Structure 1
Amino acid sequence: MMKVAIALSEKNSLIEKTGGPFGTAIFEVDTETGKCKLFSIGINQVVPLGNSTLHGEMTAIQFGQKKLNSYTFGINKPSGKEYHLYTSCEPCCQCLGGTLWSGVTKLVCAARKEDAEMIGFKEGPVFKESYEALESAGVKVVRNILREEGARVLKQYGEIGVIY
């Protein structure tokens, strides 16, 4: 599942050169069977669309909630559906807030905040307490999944892309 998020990041930023190096995939999980399916994707569109809020996580959340016709992924909890957000890099402060309010029950991250900041991105005030707030709200947090692959895309983008 993380490979989908990283592939989105790589395609958007390095192959197609249509946005920044951040990709997100949200999967719908059937809690009874454990089966999951890709539900929503998001790519960073800040520069091409001139909108500072269009990060990969935010676009995936927006498209997914529109698909559900709801402001929250929590709407399907009674029916045995959960939504897990996989992102190619740990979220910035905006995307952590969006994740907290989105209703997803799991956040899985590849590259670290430090990897994004090494190429010049400013991730804002992200603290240990940010992740603790997610966990206390019922969001399981998993970090460093395929970190090297996510960081590789960031590093390559840092050599050719716009850092904002």
Structure 2
Amino acid sequence: MEFGVAMPDWAEGEQKKLPEYLKTLEERMRVVHRFARLNVEHDTGGPFAAGVFELKTGRVVSIGVNRVVPGRCSTAHAEVMAIALAQKRLGVHDLGGEGLPDHQLVVNWLPCCMCFGATLWSGVTSLAIAGSDGSLEEITGFDEGPRIDNAKELAKRGIEFFDNILKDEAIDTFKLFRDSGRLVYNGRGGGACIPVPADAP
């Protein structure tokens, strides 16, 4: 038996359009936002995307999008996809391994409890997110699981943390997803698969 979750068909073409290097954090986040929005527009997963970049140079290592429903895999979140694709590309299980440059994970919102754990074990030395308040849950109805003191846990492991990077672009994508009426696979009601009405708060 074999396990694997593929990126959507459109993603390869979009990745080929990217420059080899994205030197600023804002440039990296804009790409992540674009992939999240395209994932909604193509109906190929939830409104989430993440990217792994070389921290200093901005070299694009991988971009991942949420593939839970298409992949029939509850762990196929954008962060897990991006981390796994980066490790596969580099042929490593640890992005912080000996001889490697520092890597940064850029995500279009605060990682859920599962993805936060994946971030800690991935080997990245930097995490940048678009936002961390309750907007995602309020707008879409997704359940992100229990929250911990993320900044404290990251600091304990030497991982730098940036929050509120181009937050409004993330909010726009979440509203697009909500208004599309698409499936909220892990939402209100203890993880039930429920659509959230467009007039939800």
Say whether residues 1:42 and 2:64 are aligned partners. yes
Q: Distance in 2 between matches of 1:112 and 1:147?
A: 9
Q: Distance in 2 between matches of 1:111 and 1:49?
A: 26
Question: What's 2:173 paired with?
Answer: 153
Question: What's 1:102 paired with?
Answer: 122
Contact 1:28–1:38 (CA under 8 A) maintained in structure 2: yes
Question: What's 1:117 paired with?
Answer: 137
Q: Distance in 2 between matches of 1:110 and 1:103?
A: 21
Question: What's 1:134 paired with?
Answer: 154
Say whether residues 1:60 and 2:86 are aligned partners. no
Structure 1 stretches of 4+ moved >4 Å: none
The structure with the larger Rg is 2
In structure 2, the gaps of 5 or more residues are: 1-27, 186-201
Instruction: Select the structure that is richer in helix.
Output: 1
Q: What amino acid is aligned across from residue 136 of structure 2 in structure 1?
A: A
- SS of the residue 1:40 aligns to: strand
Say whether residues 1:2 and 2:29 are aligned partners. yes
- SS of the residue 1:7 aligns to: helix
In structure 1, the gaps of 5 or more residues are: none
Shift of 1:10: 0.3
Q: Distance in 2 between matches of 1:62 and 1:125?
A: 23
Shift of 1:44: 0.1
Q: Distance in 2 between matches of 1:110 and 1:66?
A: 26
Which TM-score applies when normalising by structure 1? 0.90
- What root-mean-square deviation, in Å, do the aligned CA atoms of Structure 1 and Structure 2 show? 1.3
Q: What amino acid is aligned across from residue 118 of structure 2 in structure 1?
A: G
Deviations 1:3-51 (A, max 9, x none): 01111100011x211110000011113xxxx322111111000011111
Contact 1:113–1:123 (CA under 8 A) maintained in structure 2: no
Q: Distance in 2 between matches of 1:20 and 1:113?
A: 19
Instruction: Select the structure that is richer in strand.
Output: 1
Pick the aligned partner of 1:51 from 68, 73, 97: 73
Which TM-score applies when normalising by structure 2? 0.74
- Bigger RCO of structures 1 and 2 (CA < 8 A, at least 6 apart): 1
- SS of the residue 1:107 aligns to: strand
Shift of 1:114: 1.1
How many residue pairs align between the two structures? 156
What fraction of aligned residue pairs are identical, expressed as a percent? 36
